[in-house]
Amino acid sequence: MSGALSALAIAVGAVAAAYLFYRLARGLGFLEPAEDKQHQYRRAIVLALYALLLFLPVLFYGFERRWQRAWLLLGIATALALIVFGAIGVWSAVALWRLRHTDIADGGDRTED
């Protein structure tokens, strides 16, 4: 297979993958507005997990290849993106836990008078 033909195959595959991800996101309800705070936090957690699955192999591959100078900026950007999405995921998980467990998050059992 020539270089141009393989580039065309990769481009067509990328378009097909993007369409499949769009259909999956639409089917799971990610493209509609969030119904409530729990739905919004769940979306953020799923996004953080997806970013982890996307960026972590890039970092492993880069460290295994010892990041040549030309790719060092990509490694730095990937690490920063992983840190940001990880922080968003952790923050959303804590906020979702507090939202679901308001009696525990407020300081314990309170009796109403």
pLDDT tens column, 37-93: 888 888 888 888 888 887 888 777 777 777 777 778 888 888 899 999 999 999 999
Mark whether 54 and 23 lie in a shared domain: no
CA distance 75 to 58: 8
Residue 105: which domain range? 34-113
Average confidence (pLDDT) over 97-109: 75
Are 22 and 46 part of one and the same domain?
A: no
At residue 113 the predicted structure's pLDDT band, cuts being 50, 70 and 90, is very low
Give me the number of domains the chain comprises: 2
Question: Within this chain, do residues 17 and 41 fall inside the same structural domain, yes or no?
Answer: no
Burial (CB < 10 A; 0-12, 13-18, 19+), residue 75, is middle
Distance CA 73, CA 96 (A): 34
Alpha helices in the chain (DSSP H): 3-28, 37-64, 72-100, 102-105
Tell me: do 112 and 101 sit in the same domain: yes
- What spatial distance separates the first Cα and last Cα of the chain, rounded to whole Å? 78
pLDDT of residue 33 exceeding 60, the answer is yes
Rounded distance between C-alpha atoms, residue 32 and residue 23, angstroms = 13
According to the model, what pLDDT value does residue 108 have?
Answer: 59
What's the pLDDT score for residue 110?
54
* The pLDDT value given to residue 75: 83
More confident residue, 113 or 105: 105
47 lies in the same domain as 92:
yes
- Residue 49 and residue 99 in one domain: yes
